[in-house]
Amino acid sequence: MAALKQLYTNDFEVHASIKMLYPYLQTASGLSEWFADNVTINPEKIFTFVWDNEEHKAVMTSHRVNHFVKFEYKPESKEDEKDPSYFELRLEVNELTQTTFLKVIDYSDFDDLNELNDLWEGLVENLRGVVGG
């Protein structure tokens, strides 16, 4: 039986403007700089994310410029078809402090939430390195 999927959410402070960050969340070239070993997009608008030589295909199911982007993974099993894994990256600004946050929403069958948190912390650290924030 497939592992139960869990919802992971976290907010990460990033010292960069939303306009600067958004292309890194929404384009294959931007995502490949911090999120995966490689990211490509084909003419059918299917993104291929590569980690450790493993390909994972996803479709951008929704986005709003300078606000958020949501990717849904292509189903790899019957369970996935009914309950697809996805991740969403939202950009939010604290009006009081003018601090930019990247809100990560990850719905997957990753079973160890501490490990998943470490993974996202590392990814966001990569992003901070790329944007200087």
Beta bridge partner(s), residue 40: 48
User: Model pTM?
Assistant: 0.93
Q: What does the alpha-carbon distance between residue 46 and residue 20 come to, in Å, rounded to a whole number?
A: 24
Between CA 130 and CA 108, with CA 100 as vertex, the angle to 5 degrees is: 75
Residue 1 confidence (pLDDT): 47
Q: Which residues of the chain are modeled with pLDDT < 70?
A: 1-3
Tally of CB atoms within 10 A around 49 = 21
Q: Which one, of 46, 103, 91, lies nearest residue 64 by Cα?
A: 91
Residue 25 confidence (pLDDT): 98
Residue 77 confidence (pLDDT): 84
Burial grade of 58 (CB within 10 A; 0-12, 13-18, 19 or more): buried
